[in-house]
Amino acid sequence: MNNFEYYNPVRVFFGPGVVLKVGTLAKDLGKVVCLVSYKNLDFLEPLCSKVKNLLEKEGMKVLTFYEVEPNPDITTVEKGAKFCKENKVDLIIGIGGGSAMDCGKAIAAGALYEGDLWNMVFSSQADSHTVSPTKAIPTLMIPTLPATGSEMNLCSVLSNRALKEKSFIWDECIYPQIALIDPELTVSLPIYPTACAAADSISHVLEIYINGEENSPLQHSFQEGVMRTVIDNIRVVLKDLKNIEARANLQWAATCAINGWASPGDAWTPIHQVGHNLTSKFGIEHGASLSVLMTSWMRCFSSRRKTRYLAFAKNVMKISPIGKTDEQIIEEGIDSFDAFLKEIGVPTTLKEIGVKESDLDTIVEGVKEVSFGEDGMLNCIPPVSADDIKRMLINATPVKGK
């Protein structure tokens, strides 16, 4: 296990109905609040109206910035930062999934940042000119999708559509002050985004589990627990979308998967680096960009980390080892995980999302440009090369042709 420093200052309120606390909690953080959510509020409109009313009852001035798109663009952050600066906003509340919360955190930093806001983003791991933000407007997060864990971490993932890039801000100043994690707010989610959210939650710990340090037994047990919790409870939810207990388990698992508890000193997420390119270049939904890569990645690299993949098969997918070789156990574990992803209805191949063989070199170049280190490799254990990435993508069964 590596040396590490751990810090997480987010105050969490969890459970059905905690969103009703927003007024009394927010009034201690600021007086002029900006609600950040989507251009198309859709089923979130009643929630946003409720939050606005609860804040106004506490005497707060409430402004709205309902301009966020999926995979928020840096231009949207610039617009929001300008709006908050001009209106002297002193509290930002993000309402929605990862895009709304990430955009809210980036706006909070951008409103107090000097210079080009894309400079806040780690847009190249090998030759970064990033100038991280050092301060931000306080934020409060109300997640409505159990996936990204943005409500309790120091990360904001952003896109730059002009450059066709997607990367992240990573700084302590964008930790939210408060997270109101209310599983009742996820009940209205349709089946497909619920399933994609489950895949996203699993990916956050799976990547560290199979690509990180070998001798981290406590982290591995925690990661296995998160994955099993998601697997067991997404099956319940997809049969009964209104099952609050199962929804609550998914919500807390999603938060815990990426708030740092699962990965102190050990946080390699190479599959995300490839997935970001599927999103930035082809507009693939984030959870789907990971579900199409996970089992292909595992099949390509399992021989390099047999111990980890054996543990995954036995402890997560519950594969019996009796009478089987290690290779058979590993293969059965990956097959079982692939079957689970298909069962919940998320795509598992590039073919399903329309990525063609002629697109693969563009994807690889995008990963190299943004995510490869100075050594010309994508960091994980062991590091992987551009050729490795290409082989993994080919294994993901793209459509033939151009």
User: Could you read off the pLDDT of 338-359 as tens digits, one per residue?
Assistant: 999 999 999 999 999 999 989 9
Query: Are both 21 and 128 inside the same structural domain?
Result: yes
Query: Are both 364 and 220 inside the same structural domain?
Result: yes
pLDDT tens across 232-267, in order?
Answer: 999 999 999 999 999 999 999 999 999 999 988 776
Task: Give the pLDDT band (50/70/90) at residue 218.
Answer: very high
Res. 325: pLDDT tops 80:
yes
CB-count burial class (<10 Å; 0-12, 13-18, 19+) for 178: buried
% of the chain surpassing 90 pLDDT = 85
> In the block, which residue shows the tokens 């005497």?
59
End-to-end Cα separation, the chain, in angstroms = 46
Helix, strand, coil shares of the chain as percentages rounded to 5? 55, 15, 35
Query: Are both 165 and 272 inside the same structural domain?
Result: no
Query: Are both 158 and 213 inside the same structural domain?
Result: no
Mean confidence (pLDDT) of the chain: 94
Residue 187 CB-half CA count within 13 A: 12
CA R_g for the chain: 21
* Domain CATH code at residue 378: 1.20.1090.10
- In the prediction, which pLDDT does 1 show? 79
Q: Strands, E, within 130-254: which ranges?
A: 139-143, 155-160, 165-170, 178-181
> In the block, which residue shows the tokens 């984030």?
286
pLDDT tens across 81-116, in order?
Answer: 999 999 999 999 999 999 999 999 999 999 999 999
The residue type found at 331 is: E
- Average the pLDDT over 271-275 and give the result: 93
Q: Are 58 and 89 in contact (CB under 8 A)?
A: no
- In the prediction, which pLDDT does 43 show? 87
* Domain CATH code at residue 18: 3.40.50.1970
Best CA proximity match to 130, nearest among 139, 113, 118, 140? 118
Greatest CA span in the chain, whole angstroms?
69
Task: Give the pLDDT band (50/70/90) at residue 398.
Answer: low
Let me know if residue 400 belongs to a domain: no
Query: Are both 346 and 378 inside the same structural domain?
Result: yes
Query: Are both 343 and 241 inside the same structural domain?
Result: yes
Q: Are 176 and 286 in contact (CB under 8 A)?
A: no
Res. 401: pLDDT tops 70:
no
Query: Domain end: 186, 204, 227, which one?
Result: 186
Q: How far apart are CA 17 and CA 49, in angstroms?
A: 16
Query: Are both 171 and 200 inside the same structural domain?
Result: no
Query: Are both 247 and 230 inside the same structural domain?
Result: yes
Give the list of residues 6+ apart from residue 199 with CB closer than 8 angstroms, or none. 287, 288, 290, 291, 294, 341, 344, 346
Query: Domain end: 159, 186, 213, which one?
Result: 186
Element (H, E) at 68: strand 61-68
For 19, the domain range is 11-186
Total domains present in the chain: 2
In three-state secondary structure terms, 310 is helix
* Cis peptide preceding 382, ω within 30 of 0: yes
